[in-house]
Amino acid sequence: MEKRRLGRTGLDVTVISFGALPIQRHTMEDAGPVLNAALDAGINFIDTARAYSDSEEKIGQHISSRRSEYYLATKSMSRDKSSMAKDIETSLTNMRTDYIDIYQIHNIKERKDFEAVMAPGGALEALKEAQAAGKIGHIGVTGHSLPLLIEAVKTNEFSTVQVPFNFIETGALDELFPLAESLDVGRIVMKPLGGGQVRSIDLALRFLLEHNITVAIPGMDKVEHIAQNIAPAKKFHPLTIEEKNILKDEAQQIGPNFCRRCGYCMPCAAEIDIPQMFIFHLQYAFYGLKEAIPKRYAAMKAKASACIDCGVCETRCPYDLPIRDRLKQVAQDLG
């Protein structure tokens, strides 16, 4: 598989690599085959986060013995120095390693987050100290707000930037990616398959490979996902006009304001699996699964109608989706 240089880090990473968010849904035992299959397939870059429940622990449990085979990235939501320092130590312990290649500031969503991180006594100070101590190699930043990420990259403090980018969300092409390239900052693409909502996987990944990204990290929680996701990078060929039109039609069906299944809205006080509700509704309303989806929905323990309208989920959503209104629509259509 093709490898690309991850900006000023100098790391040569497989262009399709492993997003570890979904393995938090696995048991500890079941995560092992997926992680090992990724390494067996030649993937050499794994991205996780402190916020992905026990994802770090699963990495440590199952592939720490193969640490020389992959570069490791994680991230923390901590904004102050003390909390970030603790998270770095926790990550090292969880993943059973003494060195993390890239430690990222996770989800810069609002200006107050950015200012807290960059201020004296902020998270960046802890990352620099850990870097000087040899505990981490490089410092990165992630988020969904393009203006804030552009501002962060301009500080020249970060060696990588991680942002959503796919055939529906192309805003990073306008300024962020050209800026990052000019400053030799690695471009890590999250949500390359729209959080699992994209149907045309081969076409969607080939779309990414046509652009000047460094690495895409689709989430994988099944062994079969690995071969499917790396195939476009092993035998790449550009999209045809017909294939571009297929993606255009799919983008119009899904729309720009869709749930990416990141799970940040969870847990729900009413125990609703919010991302799954939206997947069901997309499959029912747009993909025509009028018989199968109502049956699957009926089997759910907590349905959309159980929403208590607390709004906590909306404060967590990095895309500011109107989750409560959408749950009401799901309840109206599916019960």
State the pLDDT at residue 288.
66
Let me know whether 242 and 282 are in one domain: no
- CATH code for the domain of 183: 3.20.20.100
**Under 8 Å CB-to-CB from 33, ≥6 apart: which residues?**
223
Quote the tokens at residue 149.
Answer: 């990420």
Let me know whether 278 and 241 are in one domain: no
Quote the domain boundaries for residue 109: 3-246
- The pLDDT tens digits of the residues spanning 232-256 come to 998 889 999 999 999 999 888 877 7
Separation CA 272–CA 282 (nearest Å): 17
Mean pLDDT of 35-59: 96
Q: Is the pLDDT of residue 289 over 90?
A: no
Let me know whether 143 and 7 are in one domain: yes
> Is 268 a domain residue?
no
Let me know whether 126 and 189 are in one domain: yes
Let me know whether 227 and 79 are in one domain: yes
Residue with structure tokens 């770095």?
88
Quote the tokens at residue 246.
Answer: 């297929």
Separation CA 10–CA 326 (nearest Å): 44
For residue 136, CA distances in Å to 71, 103, 105, 325, 335 come to 11, 7, 13, 42, 49
Confidence of residue 285 (pLDDT cuts 50, 70, 90): confident
> Is 141 a domain residue?
yes
Let me know whether 284 and 239 are in one domain: no
Mean pLDDT of 204-215: 94
Task: Name the average pLDDT for the chain.
Answer: 93
Residue with structure tokens 């620099």?
128
How many structural domains are present in the chain?
A: 2
Q: Is the pLDDT of residue 291 over 90?
A: no
Separation CA 166–CA 295 (nearest Å): 31
> Is 263 a domain residue?
no
Let me know whether 32 and 181 are in one domain: yes
Q: Of 230, 246, 262, which closes a domain? A: 246
For residue 108, CA distances in Å to 97, 146, 152 come to 26, 10, 9
Let me know whether 241 and 288 are in one domain: no
Let me know whether 288 and 242 are in one domain: no
Separation CA 93–CA 76 (nearest Å): 14
State the pLDDT at residue 59.
98
State the pLDDT at residue 123.
98
Confidence of residue 287 (pLDDT cuts 50, 70, 90): low
> Is 253 a domain residue?
no
Let me know whether 295 and 215 are in one domain: no
> Is 313 a domain residue?
yes
State the pLDDT at residue 262.
75
Q: What is the pTM of this model?
A: 0.84
Mean pLDDT of 129-142: 98
Q: How many CB atoms lie within 10 A of CB 276?
A: 15
> Is 269 a domain residue?
no
Asked whether 96 and 64 are in contact (CB, 8 A), the reply is yes
Asked whether 39 and 4 are in contact (CB, 8 A), the reply is no
Let me know whether 190 and 149 are in one domain: yes
Q: Which of 290, 220, 167, 205 lies closest to 1, judged by CA? A: 205
Q: Is the pLDDT of residue 34 over 80?
A: yes
Residue 186, Cα to own-chain centre: how many angstroms? Answer: 15
Let me know whether 59 and 174 are in one domain: yes
Q: Is the pLDDT of residue 98 over 90?
A: yes
> Is 259 a domain residue?
no
DSSP H or E segment with residue 128? helix 123-132
Confidence of residue 335 (pLDDT cuts 50, 70, 90): confident
Mean pLDDT of 4-13: 97
> Is 50 a domain residue?
yes
